[in-house]
Structure formats: C-alpha cells, structure tokens
Chain A
Amino acid sequence: MNREDFDILKTNIIYFDNGATSFKPNIVKEKIMEYYSLYTANAHRGDYKNSMIVDQKYEETRRKVKEFINAREDSEIVFTSGTTEGLNMIVFGYFKNVLKKGDEVLLTESEHASNILPWFVLAKELGIVIRYIPLNENNEVTIEAVKNSITPKTKVISLAHITNVVGDLRPIKEIAEIAHDNGILVVLDAAQSIAHKKIDVRDLDVDFMAFSGHKMYGPTGIGVLYAKFSLLDKLKPLYYGGGMNAIFTKDGYIELREIPTRLEAGTTNIEGIIGLGACIDYLNMIGMDNISKYEHELREYLIDKLKKLDFIEIYNENNKGAIVAFNIKGVFAQDTAVYLDKYNICIRAGNHCAKILNNVFNVNNTCRISLSFYNTKEEVDLLINVLKNSRNIYNEIL
C-alpha cells in the first residue's frame, strides 16, 4: 500500500531488506529539504525567526515521539543518533553507575550486537555477570524461561522487542511484570518493532527503550532514547559541551540543564529530527494497526508460496514479525542473494550481526526477507518465479 509515496519505488526495485533500513517517503525528504531551503538555523540558539521555527519543530517532534510511543512526558524523549547510541547511553550512562560486581544482566543469544557488546564491555569494567535466557525450539523467549533465569542477583533484562534474525516478537509486557515484581529493570531494543507495531511504553511498562529513525521510514543518523523520568534523570551524560550546561565557571564548576536537554550535547541532527517528525506524521496517517495487519497478511502469503517450493527451507514459519528466514537447499545464502539481485530483488544474506547465535536454525547463514507495507503480493509472486527458475543459479551468477 501507499507505494505512490515513495519515489524510489518507481525504479522498479523489489526491496525486501527493510530490517536493515527502510525507504523514505517523499514527505520526509521534502520536510528535510524545507529546513535547508527555507529556514536553516541552529536550535536553542537564536532570537530570530528562523531559529524559533527550528526550536518549534524540534520540540514538536519530541511531542510527536512522546505521543507515538505514549510516554508520559516530553522530557522522557531524548534524541540520539540511533538505537546503538541509545543502548550505549543506557548501559554506560545509567547502569554503569548503579550496577555492582556480581550483579546479573539477562540477555538472549539472539540479541543484536548493539544490545550485547556494550554489556560485554561493562561486564569487563565492573565484574557484572551476563547470562542468557535460554530460547525454546522456535528460538523464542518464553515467560517460563525468563522466570527460571531470574536470580536474586538479576538487576536488568535487556531484550529486543522483535529480533532481527528470527523476527520473533517477545512478550515484553509479561516479562516486564515479572521483572518489576523482582525489582529488575527492563531495557527494550525496539529497532525492529518500531515500524511494524504500535508501541505503548506505558502499557508495556518498560523502563528504557531505544530505536532508530532509519528503520521507520525516517532519516539515518537519528534515533530516540526513552526512559521513565526518574531513571532518565539519573542517566549521566556521556558527552559534555554546548547546549547541555546551565552554568560553568573557570574553577571547573558545572551545572547542567534539565533532562532531556542535558543529554543532547552539541548541535544535534536537526534535519534528522525534522525528518523523524515527518515520518511519525506519515505513519500515523497510515495507522500502525493497518501496517501490522497488512504486513501480517503479506507474510502469510509469502510463507504459503514458499512452502509450495520443495527446494526451499523456511526457518521461522511460525514467528509473527515481518521477517522470513530461508535458504535454497544446498545453496549458500550469499549466492542466493547475488542471484536475486540480478532480478533487482534485494534481500539480506548472512548471520545478521547476531554472531553468538551460532546455528540458530542449524545453519550459520540464511537469507532474510523483511517486509514493509509498501511490498506487495505481486512482488512476492515475482520473487517466487525467480526462485522457481533458480535451478541453474550458478550459471546466472558466475
């Protein structure tokens, strides 16, 4: 649906790598261009009209994000460069200051590198212990497994809402409830879910959350960190400089601004923030529930067609996200990706940055299709046709 909103789709590309990044609707590009062609200025700086327009758009976007994820306060929304920066701020700005040697962090083996490596580094620095919640046979997190993994030393559970390899949706609300009953904080990596599902941070009751603009039809280099006010207020800035200080004197005294301003040091990605605001308006216009419903139907259609091909192995038939992992039997994933690229079909081959998840589906590398609402059944049909003709794949790719 809404294909006409994306100029890039006129190039006849079939883009099935939306989990990596999504295309940008024209309106997002137009709003960014307006900033450069009509009212360029820095934020929070000037007393002239354009600067005030920028300030207004800047804070307007914050309000839009707040409403989009149903946070309580505008001040719970911090602009970052993306999920990776958000997660690093959570780990090194908050948890570094509250965790003690021997405290335990619960992750899973299917987390993205950005939700594992910061914890690894913190574990080395503080002597905290990283434990993995065991996944079930479908590579999913169950409530039982979470319960069984919690010990008196568990202080934080940090999980992707939807994983980028398997595409499974985690029961975050239930997990948060158990976590909070045990005095444990919950960090949500929403990189893969933000564009596909309505997210309500109050309903899920997560304590921290991070996501990226570029996976939700917005620009690259912009993202959001959300945290409950009282927690965010204790998150120490990782960067110091302009914009975030209230007073400083020559003897080294510094007083910082309030949140979220003190966590946005320096000139931020203003065009990105304006673009993010535009993409949230755009997503609201289509409706997140419509998007979920459409993508779900399209996934069912794709699975149904793939299942009819006996030379295709599907690895995550029953997961709920917009991701399908598969291989042509006996063909290395990258070779399949190169073959599909000949027909202008973009998919991702590899282990998807989840390197500790060895043999997730008993293979190391898979082809990943990640769908968007602008994908269509016709595109799926074309893919299926190309796959059907893959018998001589090596003749075509060599």
Chain B
Amino acid sequence: MDSNLKRSIIIDNYQNPVNRKREDNNDKYEKINTRNVSCIDNLDLYINLKDGIISDITFEGEACVISIASTSILINKLIGKSINVALEIIDNYLKMINEEEYDETLISDLVVFDDVSKQPSRIKCATLTANGIKKYLMENK
C-alpha cells in the first residue's frame, strides 16, 4: 500500500475511531485494561462475547495515535468473528509487526501498520490492544 494512503487510514481511524465508547453499565460486556503493559497508554476495552462469537468490542481511554488507530481498525475486523478466527487474525497481525511471515489476506486493513517495526518504541503501541484481546480470548476459549 502507498505510504500516503496508509497514513491517511491511520489518521482517519485516530480522529474518527470505531466504537469509542464505554460500556461500564452493560453486563454483556467484560472490561479489560491495557495499562499493565505500558506506562503511558491506558485503554479500557469492553468485549461482548456470545456463544463463542465476538458480538461487539468498544474502547475508551488515553493513548497515542498508533494505539488508538490500531485499536479502531482491529476491533472493526474482529466484531462478528468466532474466537478461533479472531485469534488467527490477531496472530497474523502480531507476526507482521514482528517482521515474520504472515497471511496478508487475513488482516487486510491492518497492513497499514507494517512499517511500525521500524520504530521500536511504537511496537508496544501497535500491539497493546491486540495482545489484550488475545489474552482475553485465550482465557475464554
């Protein structure tokens, strides 16, 4: 993908993220916080898992452009997927960030972050939400 296009997708997702709202009083959602892995980004993720399918994910919090945009794009991709498919998407995304072989067709839009590995300090930002959701899905498999 052309780098200008990548950039504009990231900025667009940062400025108009998908599902940026709290679901604190909705017992269908389980809340997980990402702060334990990062000193500074602090996102709450709200996951609604029903019969092995991710029926919704929302988020809120304070974080950098990469964290917010990757959260927005990722949750948009994961909503409606089964746990196993979701894990496959996340694993391929993490492989891309770690510069390993990955299946591009599985992660589509998430390829906008394929340059992140060049900025080591940003890897944590790009993987914060992915790792948080992955851990939750593994525990609830």
**Interface residues in chain A, defined as those with a beta carbon under 8 Å from any beta carbon in chain B:** 332-335, 338, 349-351, 353, 364-365, 394-395, 397-398
Scan residues 10-47 of chain B and give those whose CB is less than 8 A from a CB of chain A. Answer: 10-11, 14, 39-42
Partner of A338, one of B7, B39, B119: B119
B40 touches A350 (CB 8 A): yes
A398 touches B40 (CB 8 A): no
- Complex Cα–Cα for A398 and B14 (A): 12
**Taking A350-B40, A364-B42 as contacts, is the C-beta distance between A332 and B64 under 8 angstroms?**
yes
B11 touches A333 (CB 8 A): no
Residues of B within 8 A of A335 (CB): 64-65
B85 close to chain A: CB less than 8 A:
no
**Interface residues in chain B, defined as those with a beta carbon under 8 Å from any beta carbon in chain A:** 6-7, 10-11, 14, 39-42, 62-66, 119, 121-122, 125
13 more A-B residue pairs beyond the given contacts A353-B39, A395-B7, A398-B11, with a C-beta to C-beta distance below 8 A = A332-B64, A334-B41, A334-B125, A335-B64, A338-B119, A338-B122, A364-B42, A365-B40, A394-B65, A395-B11, A397-B65, A398-B7, A398-B66
- Complex Cα–Cα for A22 and B122 (A): 24
- Complex Cα–Cα for A333 and B42 (A): 13
Q: Give 23 pairs: A residue, B residue, CB < 8 Å, sorted on A.
A: A332-B62, A332-B63, A332-B64, A332-B65, A333-B40, A334-B40, A334-B125, A338-B64, A338-B119, A338-B121, A350-B39, A350-B40, A365-B40, A394-B10, A394-B11, A395-B7, A397-B65, A398-B6, A398-B7, A398-B10, A398-B11, A398-B65, A398-B66
A351 touches B10 (CB 8 A): no
Partner of A394, one of B7, B42, B125: B7
**Taking A338-B121, A397-B65, A398-B65 as contacts, is the C-beta distance between A351 and B39 under 8 angstroms?**
yes
How near does chain A come to B73, taking the closest CB pair, in angstroms?
13
Residues of A within 8 A of B62 (CB): 332, 364-365
B6 touches A334 (CB 8 A): no
Chain A residue, CB-CB nearest to B112: A398
How near does chain B come to A352, taking the closest CB pair, in angstroms?
9
Chain A residue, CB-CB nearest to B40: A350
Residues of A within 8 A of B125 (CB): 334
- Complex Cα–Cα for A364 and B43 (A): 12
Residues of B within 8 A of A394 (CB): 7, 10-11, 14, 65
